[in-house]
Chains A and B, each alone.
Chain A
């Protein structure tokens, strides 16, 4: 059994468990809000901090990797925008757009350490810092143009939400600790590392609890298009950019894997708030989460990881 397969089984198992818990009403749908909030406010920032703070980035090609990964999301935004003439329905287009550019980094983070080692986890954690603000700005812009909501977006609120995003703060604090050599060990580092250990199990359970199979029936052709954008076009684009920037080895495998991660539930929240097609987005997140278990190993294998 390859390291990747061995890592995929528990990840898939925990997502399935989360779905089962919601489905059997052992942990009812409305209770998951608190779990998501805890992940987002405390556990994930802690995990990003301790992964980045203690990582050794020497010889990891972090520079070219970060440029390629950031450009990858820009390319995906351009490709998605080019599809606008084909999709007359504005809200549905915003869901296709979000489907094309959003990524669920935590599925990758769960796989990275067991499949690619500490190096892979270190690189995967780094991706959040530049891409979380970039992707959010792009999605908010597209939704404010084509979303069904009449309210103009409160730009101040959007800017504040990005500046105070706990994931970005966790990454930046981790980078500062890494560069300054502070908080490498001791009580604070230990506490944050312990808190971070809970991030992935809880988040994977929450991803499972959020799966919505009934939404798969909504707009099958648009859904197929958005899924193809995420699981076929995106990994291809990231792969090409990686080759263009001379990224190789583990870094190339992680880069392509970033492209092949499933859609993220954050897209659903934004679609509900700003007049996107929330049901199409729910279907996209569900479909890509399931299909990613075929797509991710395939693309990683292709990239030689």
Chain B
């Protein structure tokens, strides 16, 4: 079996044209991940540019209101550019720069990863092109503007369903077109090896900090760590340093959209089956002939028909649990956290909060839950208002 496997999942199912590029990337990463200078530079960017470590905030009012377990929020929403995406992007862009690449390309769904990539490109003086579903460029016009402001070129992708999966396909196609000077900054723990490993390692700073902060505050580990899952980068980042701590429940919250019994869903573990797509073997939403299914969620960041291979593995061995949260539940949690804690979470993160609203009251008061608030919700206000039947506009 090939490299980069999590159980039987993962692998490198990509065109031959890209094989030497991923081999070169793997070799560079194996070298630089242990390179003192690289790690010093990355840590400095995390501390002085991103604002790490992010806070582990005890949500007292939320805890009291739910009347069960103590709830902490890991505030990835406080990162520069507003989400956990920047952790991965800076690590990869710095690596690309060390490899002598002068141009970075990336896919984006809602635009969070695209904005983070454009930000890193501006900071590191690299050429940047972002591929975004044409449908998403209309839904997230502000993020398109931000990327352009930061100096990136944004390509609307109109092939297929014109959403995130098509943006990934198109970025892969562009990479086959121009490889020598270009690095593909993949945005999640997905795609061909070594991406799921690189992105996980870079996002693992989240669980490293949670563990240190929790031991300092409570003198013990949490009972559960909960995060939303699309491709799964913020979740794997929040889980990683707890995987060997069997007492810590790891719970990933997928987007059920209008419900897992409907066609309007993006809940891969709940509704998908094993397949091969976008460079990896994992679970995918697909029809009986293996055609990738159109997926739906109110959250553009979770609107993806697959899940990272390490999550597929953690699911199969029972180390992590995966639950599905509907649009309605996520929107209610979005509104609830805003009112009770004064924190507007990303609609993606609201899926994790929604599950805690169900779980926390059932747990004893001496239990501790950590929710990874992967991003901030400014970008989602218009969509949530629309969901509630209200049109808002800056015009």
Pairing of A with B: no
Residues of chain B whose beta carbon lies under 8 Å from any beta carbon of chain A? none
